[in-house]
């Protein structure tokens, strides 16, 4: 019975995706496969061709699928797509946002399902760069190397060279054009810090100093204030893996994947230390209520509710959260630049390099099953030129991947942009391995189990067993 229900659930999900994504496409034939040239900062030219048999006035609909975290037309990406589409000079196409409303963890599963079929694949999809290698290996994405050769912006230094690594899969091919990157650190409320006697110019040198500050907040700020918040649930998906666990693990000097042996590290002192930090926060009641932190909206609750209302002392999160506080953001908060501080996350004992951050980012990719690949590529070049990229990163609070945007005064004057970019000097990246998404899922289960009361030792043992089952005994190592 359970098996039948699961099959019915998958069938229902596929039908919903077909309705949400596939039906918005025009259903016309795929592009010819020719490569367009001379795009970038110039306007994209109107294409002469149209679908075989279509009327001269018929428009092709180019669909763009992205994650909607629940705020619909108020979302930054929705507004940006509509704005760029309104200025797109090719009048023969219609640009249509086709969002998937989901938690971060569910988004990737729904995207994978949509990309499998020509009936449900959009023309453009936003890919978190950590999923790009996996989706490329599965054959879901179109390699862009030949198209990129004809785009001047890609080869003239406009894009930061290091950022191209994030969209290059293990087969050496490029499967997306990045539009942002990010760094992570400790956001803190200066007003709360001042009230409880902590320095407003906070710069912790070790994990002990982070925990000490949280203990002071718990003791002196009152029961309405959460001392420290980190994503800890499976429902927050990659945010739990990257913003919480990997920031801690890499801060111990340990890594997820041993590049020298090409094996996954399943046991190490660093794993135990990272989990023990989380365990301490739970046992000493320094974190948020589990009812808040274990649901899919935990990140939004922390950034859009608790921080602006002065109910949160410290938040381990990404550089992009300030996008919420702009006039066009989900939770406008004009005072954020004066109230918030952004401290680097220290290594566990303050050892070199002293601080740590994980860098990620998102890209626009063309699915292998897209119906209008040429038109999608034309739009990507226009959408990610300097002007449009700058509008997006300023509105979203992200860090730019374009060197020319990074030098623009409109970008550099944004609060925290300079400091967030500086943290990238010690940036680490997630393993570019196709098994990473599955390993990441086990990380999320491990962290949630510790948050729910399982000991760090037991959670680590279960993680080792699960990862070994996924990657195979011969591909694991203990340190």
3-state secondary structure the chain: CHHHHHHHHHHHHHHHHHHHCHHHCCCCCCCCCCCCCCCCCCCCCCCCCCCCCCCCCCCEEEEEECEECCCHHHCHHHHHHHHHHHHCCCCCEEEEECCEECCHHHHHHHHHHHHCCCCCCCCEEEEEHHHHHHHHHCCCECCCHHHHCCCHHHHCCCECHHHHHHHECCCCCECCEEEEECCEEEEEEHHHHHHHCCCCCCCCCCHHHHHHHHHHHHHHCCCCCEEEECCCCHHHCHHHHHHHHHHHHHHCCCCCEECCCCEEEEECHHHHHHHHHHHHHHHCCCCCCHHHHCCCCHHHHHHHHHCCCCCEEEEEEEHHHHHHHCCCCCCCCCCHHHHEEEECEECCCCCCCCEEEECCEEEEECECCCCCHHHHHHHHHHHCCHHHHHHHHHHHCCECCEHHHHCCHHHHCCCCHHHHHHHHHHEECCCCCCCHHHHHHHHHHHHHHHHCCCCHHHHHHHHHHHHHHHHCHHHEEEC
Q: pLDDT tens string for the chain (479 positions)?
A: 444 444 444 444 444 444 443 333 333 332 333 333 334 443 443 433 344 444 456 889 999 999 998 888 989 999 999 999 999 999 999 999 999 998 776 888 899 999 999 999 999 999 998 889 889 999 999 999 999 999 999 999 999 887 888 898 888 999 999 999 999 999 999 999 999 999 999 999 999 999 999 999 999 999 999 999 999 999 999 999 999 999 999 999 999 999 899 999 999 999 999 999 999 999 999 999 999 999 989 999 999 999 999 999 999 999 999 989 998 888 999 999 999 999 999 999 999 999 999 988 899 999 999 999 999 999 999 999 999 999 999 988 889 999 899 889 999 888 998 889 888 878 888 887 889 989 999 999 999 999 999 999 999 999 999 999 999 999 999 99
CATH code, 60-182+360-424: 3.40.190.10
CA neighbours within 13 Å on the CB side: how many for 349? 5
State the pTM of this model: 0.74
Query: Could you tell me the two tokens for 97?
Result: 């946002």
**pLDDT reported for residue 57:** 64
Which numeric CATH code is attached to 184-359+432-478?
Answer: 3.40.190.10
Question: Are the C-beta atoms of residues 329 and 266 closer than 8 Å to each other?
Answer: no
Q: Are 328 and 322 within 8 A, CB to CB? A: no
Cα separation, 189 vs 302, in Å, equals 12
* pLDDT for position 119: 95
Residue 369 exposed, middle or buried by CB count within 10 Å (0-12, 13-18, 19+)? buried
- Output the pLDDT for position 166: 82
Q: How far is Cα 178 from Cα 402, in angstroms, rounded to an integer?
A: 9
pLDDT value for 34: 33
Does this chain's domain 60-182+360-424 share its CATH topology with 184-359+432-478? yes
The pLDDT mean for the chain works out to: 88
What does the domain layout of the chain look like in residue ranges? Answer: 60-182+360-424, 184-359+432-478
């Amino acid at each position: 019975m359970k098996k039948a229900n699961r099959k019915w659930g998958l069938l229902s999900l596929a039908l919903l995706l077909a309705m949400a994504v596939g039906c918005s496409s025009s259903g016309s034939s795929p592009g010819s496969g020719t490569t367009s040239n001379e795009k970038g900062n110039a306007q994209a030219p109107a294409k002469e061709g149209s679908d075989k048999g279509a009327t001269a006035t018929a428009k092709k609909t180019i669909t763009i699928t992205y994650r909607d975290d629940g705020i619909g037309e108020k979302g930054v990406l929705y507004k940006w797509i509509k704005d760029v589409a309104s200025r797109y000079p090719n009048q023969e196409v219609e640009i249509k946002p086709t969002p998937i409303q989901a938690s971060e963890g569910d988004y990737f599963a729904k995207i994978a399902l949509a990309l499998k079929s020509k009936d449900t694949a959009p023309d453009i999809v936003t890919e978190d760069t950590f999923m790009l290698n996996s989706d490329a290996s599965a054959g879901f994405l179109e390699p862009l190397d030949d198209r990129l050769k004809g785009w001047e912006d890609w080869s003239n230094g406009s894009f930061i060279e290091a950022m191209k690594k994030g969209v290059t899969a293990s087969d050496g091919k490029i499967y997306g054009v990045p539009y942002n990157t990010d760094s992570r650190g400790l956001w803190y409320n200066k007003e709360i810090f001042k009230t409880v006697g902590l320095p407003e110019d906070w710069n912790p040198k070790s994990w002990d100093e982070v925990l000490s500050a949280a203990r002071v907040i718990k003791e002196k700020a009152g029961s309405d204030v959460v001392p420290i918040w980190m994503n800890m649930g499976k429902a927050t998906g990659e945010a739990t893996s990257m913003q919480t666990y990997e920031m801690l693990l890499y801060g111990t000097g340990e890594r997820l994947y041993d590049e020298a042996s090409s094996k996954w590290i399943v046991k190490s002192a660093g794993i135990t230390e990272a989990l023990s930090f989380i365990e301490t926060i739970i046992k000493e009641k320094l974190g948020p209520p589990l009812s808040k932190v274990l649901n899919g909206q935990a990140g939004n609750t922390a950034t859009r509710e608790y921080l602006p209302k002065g109910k949160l002392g410290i938040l381990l999160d990404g550089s992009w959260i300030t996008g919420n506080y702009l006039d066009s953001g989900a939770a406008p908060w004009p005072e954020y630049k004066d109230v918030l501080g952004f401290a680097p996350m220290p290594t566990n004992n303050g050892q070199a390099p002293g601080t740590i951050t994980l860098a990620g980012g998102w890209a626009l990719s063309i699915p292998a099953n897209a119906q209008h690949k040429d038109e999608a590529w034309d739009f990507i070049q226009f959408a990610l030129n300097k002007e449009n990229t700058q509008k997006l990163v300023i509105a979203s609070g992200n860090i730019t991947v374009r060197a020319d945007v990074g030098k623009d005064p409109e970008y550099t004057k944004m609060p925290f942009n300079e400091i967030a970019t500086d943290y990238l000097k010690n940036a680490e990246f997630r393993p570019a391995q196709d098994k990473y998404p599955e390993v990441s899922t086990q990380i999320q289960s491990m962290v949630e189990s510790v948050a729910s009361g399982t000991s760090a030792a037991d959670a680590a043992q279960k993680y080792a067993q699960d990862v070994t089952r996924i990657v195979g005994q011969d591909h694991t190592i203990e340190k």
